[in-house]
Amino acid sequence: MTNKTDTLTDRQLVEKVLTGDTSAFATIIKNTEALVAQIVFKMVDNIEDRKDLAQDIYLKAYKNLPGFRFGSKFSTWIAQVSYNTCLDYLRKKKLVLQDTVHDDGDEDLPGINNKYSLELNVGADKDIFRKELSGILKTEIDRLPVIYKTLITLYHNEEMSYDEIAQITQLPEGTLKNYLFRARKALKNSLLQHYKKEDL
């Protein structure tokens, strides 16, 4: 059975929540829980803490909803609340957001705007290649530093723009692009290190 709030826009849902309609907030959770989960799962390893953080994120979102003015997409705002909540958690736990990655002068590297620039040089059909690689990629992405795997998830999985990710993470766009390039490079190197080329 379809909930009457399921077909409402984000703006309509927010307006309903602000008038006390709890079912509208339940719809907001349903619409955004996959995005929130992507961020929490990439940033936080502890399973129990993930559950608490997800609850905390939606409590913060509910509390701060009156201050949201649609200056950005609603999903971007929810993602920002999620990112900042996880960031606070990592700081309190004194966990590292970004491991030190040594590169040889990559500040101005080509191909930074290419969404799929892993450059693995595989001649297989693109769809088959992606399907077979998905499990391997997930494993290797999860081995990356927190900030790298979070950015890759937002950019590739959630298909967010640089501007949206910059709003979420508060990183300058130049830094964001550099981190994304380094993340792809680290991922490519990890893939080539852990798997024989014929396996890819």
- The pLDDT tens digits of the residues spanning 151-182 come to 999 998 899 999 999 999 999 999 999 999 99
**DSSP letters for 79-126:** HHHHHHHHHHHHHHTT--SS-----SS-TT-TTTT-TT-------S-H
All domains in the chain, ordered by first residue: 10-92 (1.10.1740.10), 126-199 (1.10.10.10)
Question: Average pLDDT, stretch 74-97?
Answer: 90
Q: Is the pLDDT of residue 79 over 90?
A: yes
Q: Is the pLDDT of residue 200 over 60?
A: no
CA distance 15 to 94: 38
State residue 128's pLDDT score: 56
State residue 112's pLDDT score: 31
pLDDT confidence of 196, banded at 50, 70, 90? low
CA distance 23 to 21: 6
Whole-model pTM: value is: 0.75
CA distance 8 to 143: 39
